[in-house]
């Protein structure tokens, strides 16, 4: 999925107490795939008032769905240990 971050309206960006910047997005399926085979979209989430007044949706990007076969279920995976090399 490709997302164009410059399409996010500034008023939709929120700064957390720790200084990180967030926005709420939504993803959905297109009725028909486009010419590039994209069948999903990403858009800036709308408030109830914006939906009720039919404000235009700010689309940020599109993507393709993938089907994975033979994927190990998370429930069947081993938990991480204390010495695992994670960046957080």
Average pLDDT over residues 48-53: 96
Residue 48 lies inside a defined structural domain of this protein: yes
Number of domains observed in the structure of the chain: 1
Predicted pLDDT at 69: 76
CB 7 within 8 A of CB 25: no
Cα 15 to Cα 8: distance, rounded to the nearest angstrom: 14
Residue 22 lies inside a defined structural domain of this protein: yes
Is the model more confident about 29 or about 82? 29
Predicted pLDDT at 82: 74
Residue 14 lies inside a defined structural domain of this protein: yes
Domain residues for 45?
A: 2-64
Average pLDDT over residues 13-36: 95
Residue 69 lies inside a defined structural domain of this protein: no
The answer, as to whether pTM is greater than 0.75, is no
Residue 23 lies inside a defined structural domain of this protein: yes
**What pLDDT digit, counting tens, does each position of 51-68 carry?**
999 999 999 999 998 877
Residue 72 lies inside a defined structural domain of this protein: no
Residue 73 lies inside a defined structural domain of this protein: no
Average pLDDT over residues 25-37: 94
Residue 78 lies inside a defined structural domain of this protein: no
């Amino acid at each position: 999925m490709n997302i164009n971050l410059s399409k996010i309206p500034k008023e939709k960006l929120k700064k957390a107490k720790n200084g990180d910047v967030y926005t709420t997005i939504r993803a959905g399926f297109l009725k028909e795939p486009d010419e590039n085979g994209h069948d999903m979209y990403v858009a800036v989430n709308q408030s109830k008032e914006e939906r009720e007044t039919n404000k235009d949706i700010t689309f940020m990007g599109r993507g393709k769905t993938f089907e994975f076969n033979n994927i190990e279920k998370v429930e069947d995976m081993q938990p991480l240990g204390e010495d695992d090399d994670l960046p957080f």
